[in-house]
Each structure stands twice: as structure tokens, then as C-alpha cells.
Amino acid sequence: RALVVDDNDAARELMGTQLSGMGFAVDTVGSGEDALAAVARAQSGKPYGLMVVDWQMPGMDGIETAKRVRGLNDGLRIVMATAYGRDEVRAHADEAGIEAFVVKPVSASALVDALMTALVPNTAPSSRAVQIQEIAPDLLRGVRLLLAEDNEINQQIAIELLEGAGATVRVAGNGKEAFDLVQAGESFDAVLMDLQMPVMGGLEATGLIRADARFATLPIIAMTAHAMVEERERCLAAGMVDHITKPLDPPSMFKALLRWVQARPVEAAAARPDAPAPQAEHDLPDIAGLDLAAGLRRVGGNRALYLRLLHQFADGQADVVQRIEAALAGGKREEAERAAHTVRGVAGNMGLASLQTAAAALEESLRHGRDVSAALAAFGAELSACVQALRAAWGAQSAQAVPVAAAPAIDAAEAAGHAQQFARLLADCDAQAEDYLAAHRGALVQICGAEAVAATALAVQAFDFDAALQAVRDAAAQQGVVIEATA
């Protein structure tokens, strides 16, 4: 919900129209005094999340309006519109808590840039010393996105960021799955397409999608670790409309998306559950080479997610050198290159810059077939140092931790019944399997273990029901529980 404050009737109407077109529910007023009254009224119902205020107005100017409004609604994001340069007003604007500026006359592109600065956190400390990074929960309200990405950590980061901004996200684990989902007729507002994936890459999948005239206008946005001009030209030639560089930078990602999609009005968007309670603080490992600030920025400040992904990285990538060596021994150079590429992206997302550099060097060596042994040795040493440092830090934290009582166990027969029912839904390729997993996760963890359930959840999100069913059967069998034949 947005409030436009401007004494000029034409400017006020134009700004209101632009914001409405971006999905905001907009009110407009012509003075600072009217703005204070509007914000005060809204506080008892639906408070405003954004205010765009003109600087020079008769009576109460934009700076004074912002100061007084801040006392009524401290969470309000404020953009100042001015016909002058921002330097003239910045000193006063900072103390008023103004997050962004836009210079009149306001173009749509300039307005999007200003909104991104105000609504999406960046690395600079806020003038109001915001303690936790938050992405505006309605930035992508009602937007339906398809995410084509094979790396589980990258999937989780993107899903958390996009769903946190109000979008609905479907996941495809490779280009073939993405193409099949689009062909099946499910409606998407845009596709985020990784380039390097197994089975089918992003360029080939985009070509197949574009070959169908029904999807000629569907925005397909490339996700690439290569920022080179040649790479961007390849993406455009294949039919992609834009690109996002990996590791993901939230402001850049949202800025690219907002060039092609817009939030739906409140009444058109599905009702969303109440926001979860603030998360407790989570101790993060303080080790050499780990840029915590960069890693947290990649996940929108979500400490719990970041910690979980660090654990997943240490567990899932510790043996990657052995996997690369095995692939090379079997003549599967592309598979080895893809493994290095995966670590490169994950390390960048985690804030492990030295490992990211070593992985990039190995990927390049594998691609061109030169100095592979030296690059692999350097990569292996860096990876081993990172994993060992993380595990040592967690070991020290565990030794100091206070034991926490475990959740009460579910009756064994009841838990087994839930696992059996979940397996039936998977066997039937029933989309309700995802909801059932969410509702009975505790029972499924009791039967299959937390790690297997997490892997199963990702498979279900990617519509790989066969893999999910096999994972459930295998994990349950290890616990002595037999999942009966379901087909």
C-alpha cells in the first residue's frame, strides 16, 4: 500500500498511475498535513508500506513530512521526489530516514530503481540502523515464477528470496523439466533459467519453449555465472529477455524481475499466511575466508537459512574432488566440469570467495583441457580447508551448547501410516503430496530421517515423484519400515 504526497495535481496523478501499474494500492494527498492525517488513519487498519513525497511543497515540505510520518509509522519506506539533484537534500534527508530519491520528471525506469533501493536491502548500513534485512513481502505479490535450477542450495536461496517477496515458485531440476512444465499449460509470469544443467541446458530449453508460439511473450531470464558480453548475446539469441548474474545478488535479481513482471493488486492475489514470528538468533561460524556479510546478503539476511545451507554445503560437497576424479577417469569431462561449476556457484553464494576462485580456475582448466592436475590440487586444498574449518567451528559451538529437549515422538504405527499414505500420493503423481509432506513432516522424519525428507521435498517441488518415492522407500527400509507396493 503506497501513499503519494505532492502539491502538484498533474505530478501527483502521474506518480499514482505509475505505482498502480506496478501493483500498489495507491492513495494520493496534496500536502504534508494531509499525509500525516492519512498515515495516522491507516495505522488502525492497513498501514502504508511506501510513501513517495515531493521535496518542495508549501507549508510542510517533504523533509519535515518524512520526519513526522516516521514518528507514526517507523516501518514506512520513503522515497523523495525532487526536481533538483539529490545532493542538495541528502544531508537533511538522511536524518529524516529517507531511503531513496527520484528526480523529476520521473521515468518508469528511474522509479523502479528508486523502489528497489527503498524496498530491497543492500549491503550499505541503513540510516535508521535496521537490524534485520527484510524484503518487502508484497514486492512480487501474486507473481507466478518457474525456477529452472539443478543445484539444491541455489534452489533454496532463490525460493526463500522469491517467496519472501510474495511470489509463488515452481522448481524444475533441469531444462527438460522446465520445458515439460511450460508445455503442460501451467501459467507462469516469468521463467528464471539456469544455463548449465544436466539432461538439458537452459539455452536448449529456451529454444524449445520459443518454438511454440503460445509462449512467444513469456519472459525467460537467464541465470548465469558468466557476466561476459558473449554469454549475454548467446542468451538473447536463444530467446531470453534478460539475465541475472550468479551468485545471486537480491537487489539485482528483483530489479531484473521487475522489468518483466509486476505484483498483482491485493484483491487479485491469493491470501497469504501471516508472517512468521521473528527468528531467534543463530550462531554463525567465524572462520577465515568466510565473508558472513556477503553470504547473508545472498539470502536476504535469513540467518537460519544461511546456517542450514552452510551445513548442506559441508555435507554435500566434501567429496566433490573424488567425484571429479572419478568422472575424469571415466572420460566424463563435462560431468567433472559441471561439478566444479556447481561448487563455484555455491561457494559464491556462501561467501567463500577463495574457494569460488579456485573452483572457477578448475572449471576453466577442465573446459580447455590444460593444467587440470594443478588446478584440481589447488581446488582440493581450498575445499578441504573450508570444510574442516566449518566442522571445527560447529564442533566448538556444540560443546558449549545447552541440550534442548527433543520433540515428543509420534506413535510408531501412526508415523508409518503417514509414510505409507505419502508414498501413495507420490506413486499417483498427486500434487497434494507437497501439502501432505508439510502437514506430516514430523512423522515422515521419524520414519525416514530429516536428511531424506529434505531431499524428498526438493524432488516433489521439482515434480520428480519417482525419485521422491524411491527416496522414501530406501530411507524407510534403513529404519526397518517397509513401504508396501503402491502401484
- Domain with residue 77: its CATH number is 3.40.50.2300
Same domain, 314 and 420: no
| Contact status, residue 50 vs residue 120, Cβ threshold 8 Å | no
Q: Is residue 198 part of a domain?
A: yes
Same domain, 191 and 247: yes
DSSP 266: G
Confidence of residue 270 (pLDDT cuts 50, 70, 90): very low
Q: Is residue 249 part of a domain?
A: yes
Same domain, 185 and 263: yes
| pLDDT > 50? residue 459 | yes
Contacts with 165 (C-beta within 8 Å, 6 or more apart), sequence order: 135, 136, 137, 138, 139, 140, 254
Q: Is residue 66 part of a domain?
A: yes
Of 252, 268, 284, which closes a domain?
268
Domain total of the chain: 4
> What phi, psi does 272 have (nearest 5°)?
-110, 145
| pLDDT > 80? residue 231 | no
Q: Is residue 301 part of a domain?
A: yes
Q: How many CB atoms lie within 10 A of CB 57?
A: 20
Q: Once rounded to an integer, what is the mean pLDDT over residues 114-129? A: 52
Mean pLDDT estimate for the chain:
80
Q: How many CB atoms lie within 10 A of CB 354?
A: 15
The grid cell for 232 is 549475454
- Looking at residue 402, its pLDDT comes to 38
Give the SS3 label for residue 193: strand
Q: What type of residue sits at position 342?
A: T
- Looking at residue 183, its pLDDT comes to 92
| Residue that is written with C-alpha cell 524411491 in the block | 470
Query: Residue 7 and residue 57: Cα distance in Å, rounded?
Result: 6
Which of 147, 184, 151 has the alpha carbon at shortest distance from 167? 147
- Looking at residue 341, its pLDDT comes to 87
Instruction: Tally the residues of the chain.
Output: 487
List for the chain the helix, strand, coil content (%; round to 5): 55, 10, 35
Q: Helices (H), strands (E): how many in the chain?
A: 21, 10
Same domain, 100 and 190: no
| Contact status, residue 175 vs residue 191, Cβ threshold 8 Å | no
Q: Is residue 463 part of a domain?
A: yes
Of 102, 119, 136, which closes a domain?
119
pLDDT digits (tens, 9 = 90+) for 68-78: 888 788 788 89
Same domain, 420 and 394: no
Side-chain-side CA neighbours of residue 261 (13 Å): 31
Query: Residue 131 and residue 163: Cα distance in Å, rounded?
Result: 21
Same domain, 416 and 396: no
Question: How far is CA 378 from each of CA 359, 360, 371, 382, rounded to the nearest angstrom?
Answer: 9, 11, 11, 6
Q: Is residue 287 part of a domain?
A: no
Same domain, 419 and 445: yes
Query: Residue 52 and residue 80: Cα distance in Å, rounded?
Result: 6
- Looking at residue 408, its pLDDT comes to 45
Query: Residue 248 and residue 159: Cα distance in Å, rounded?
Result: 12
Query: Residue 293 and residue 249: Cα distance in Å, rounded?
Result: 12
- Looking at residue 229, its pLDDT comes to 66
Side-chain-side CA neighbours of residue 307 (13 Å): 14
Same domain, 49 and 102: yes
Same domain, 49 and 164: no
Which of 73, 99, 71, 78 has the alpha carbon at shortest distance from 2? 78
DSSP 82: E
Of 400, 434, 463, which closes a domain?
400
pLDDT digits (tens, 9 = 90+) for 373-396: 999 999 999 999 999 998 888 775
Supply the range of the domain harboring residue 391: 292-400
| Residue that is written with C-alpha cell 513525497 in the block | 53
- Looking at residue 202, its pLDDT comes to 93
- Looking at residue 169, its pLDDT comes to 93
Same domain, 149 and 259: yes
Q: Is residue 137 part of a domain?
A: no
Query: Residue 47 and residue 75: Cα distance in Å, rounded?
Result: 9
Same domain, 438 and 380: no
Same domain, 420 and 392: no
- Domain with residue 308: its CATH number is 1.20.120
| pLDDT > 60? residue 485 | no
pTM: 0.50
Q: Is residue 128 part of a domain?
A: no
Question: How far is CA 468 from each of CA 21, 147, 168, 200, 427, rounded to the nearest angstrom?
Answer: 41, 19, 21, 21, 9
pLDDT digits (tens, 9 = 90+) for 444-454: 878 887 677 77
